[in-house]
Structures are given as C-alpha cells and as structure tokens.
Amino acid sequence: MTTNNPARHPVCRPEIATLLRRGHDALLAAMEDTPRVLQTGDNLIEMGEPHEFVHAIESGWFARTRTIVDGRRQTIVIFLPGELCGTKTIFLERQPDAIQALTPASTRRVHYKEVCALAARELSVALLISWQLAQDERHLHDWNVRLGRGSAEERIAALLLEFRNRIRQIGLASDQGYAFPMTQQQISDHVGLTTVHVNRVLRRFREQEMVSVQKGAVTFHDNLAALEALARPVQDILATD
C-alpha cells in the first residue's frame, strides 16, 4: 500500500514524528486484511446514514460531498491514496456528508471501537487521530479563505498546486504534472463555480502557458511561476513544494 505517512509531513513537529509514524503503522496493522473494492460513483459512506468504520485508502480518489435538497452539491475535500478518511466516525454515529469514489478505488477499514481501544493503549495512535483531525481543520480553513475571498483564477490555481504538493508526498507527481481524474463538473463542485466558468479559466491558463488540464492529466508549462504567483495569496502559508 502506498502510504502518506504523517511523520513525513513538512509541518509536523520533529519531536512527535516518531510517535506519529508508530501510530500510523499500528492503525494500518489493525485494518481488515481484505480490501473493499469500489467503482467510480460508489459511495463508501452514505450521507446521514450510520457508519462504524475508519478507512485507509489503498488506491483511487475519493470526495467528501454534501448535497442539498435542490440537488446542488459541494465537494468539501478530496482524499488521495495513502490517506485516512471517515475519522469522524470515531465521534459521530452518522456522517453528515457522503464519501464517494471518483475513480475505481480500494480501501481497508477498522471498526471505530478498535480504534478507540488502540488509542487508549497507545499514545501514538491517539496522537495520530488528533493529527488527522488537525489536518482536516487546516484544510477547511484554507478552503474557507479561498471560497470567501479568492477569485476564480486564484481558487483553481490553488487547487491544482495543492494536489501537486499532496501527490508529491506519495511519490505520484513529477515536475511536469500528475494524473488528474476529476471532471470539470467535479472541479466546479469543489471551487464553487459553474462548469462554464471553470472551463473559461482553464482555457486562459492553457493559453498563457501556465498549465493544461486535459485527458485525465495536469501538465505544467514554462510559465508555471505565474500560476504559483496567482495562487500565493490564498495558499496555505505552510505549504511547501
């Protein structure tokens, strides 16, 4: 399994890195051996329904989404291979959002009661869960700023660069780009814009030789520095390449 070990994260305090690594390994070891396989569009967690498991993503991309009664949908966060999802199951009987596979995917899972028992016995696991929740909060703060104050161009530039940085951590991105399975509709659901607006911004980025988003891939061009400068006002100040 490709893992996104939190102890390697650039903002992690060095003095807790060993504990986080130990908690990460202990939690993975407690997961069920047989992975659950999902197809594109399958829900790992249903919105508003009871759920009892924490999941580790082995392959594929997932989106945490919330759909309101008139059908409008907001994508709240994207989960990548090696990341945990459903952590709030430890605390909540029902999930307020759905977690849906954006691609063919697989996960392994552990019951929340076993996570609680592990955390009670091992400080490293308790710290790992706290770390995961802190990272979730940091991500939501970033997107609160982007959705509240960012322009369309800033939001989309920040999204593409955020994925670059996260995917680099798991060794699946290069300086030239990365595989990107999201459709323009899914991008629009995440950045709070219409698909027409998203298409217009991506075309402008391509014409200005910053980046292309086509055929399931993000490809960076010679003017990447302009894309980075565009995103900088709404980027996480702790983000690193």
In tens, the pLDDT along 179-236 reads 999 999 999 999 999 999 999 999 999 999 999 999 899 999 999 999 999 999 998 8
Sign, Cα dihedral of 11, 15, 19, 21: positive
Owning domain of residue 189: 151-234
Same domain assignment for residues 98 and 187 = no
Same domain assignment for residues 139 and 196 = no
| CATH number of the domain to which 87 belongs | 2.60.120.10
Query: Quick one: what percent of the chain has pLDDT higher than 90?
Result: 81
CA distance 12 to 200: 37
Same domain assignment for residues 17 and 128 = yes
Q: Which two tokens stand for residue 18?
A: 């060993």
Asked if the model's pLDDT at residue 142 lies above 90, the reply is: yes
Asked if the model's pLDDT at residue 91 lies above 90, the reply is: yes
- pLDDT at residue 12, as a whole number: 75
Asked if the model's pLDDT at residue 76 lies above 70, the reply is: yes
Asked if the model's pLDDT at residue 239 lies above 70, the reply is: no
Same domain assignment for residues 137 and 155 = no
Same domain assignment for residues 136 and 164 = no
pLDDT tens for 102-140 read: 999 999 999 999 999 999 999 999 999 999 999 889 889
Same domain assignment for residues 21 and 97 = yes
Sign, Cα dihedral of 146, 154, 149, 195: negative
The reply to whether 189 falls in a domain is yes
Q: What are the DSSP calls for the chain, one per residue? A: -----GGG-TTS-GGGHHHHHHHHHHHHHHS-SSPEEE-TT-EEE-TTSB--EEEEEEES-EEEEEE-TTS-EEEEEEE-TT-EE-GGGGT-SB-SSEEEESSSEEEEEEEHHHHHHHHHH-HHHHHHHHHHHHHHHHHHHHHHHHHHH--HHHHHHHHHHHHHHHHHHTT-EETTEEE----HHHHHHHHT--HHHHHHHHHHHHHTTSEEEETTEEEE-TTHHHHHHHHGGGS-TT---
- pLDDT at residue 1, as a whole number: 47
Same domain assignment for residues 167 and 112 = no
CA distance 201 to 197: 6
Number of independent structural domains in the chain: 2
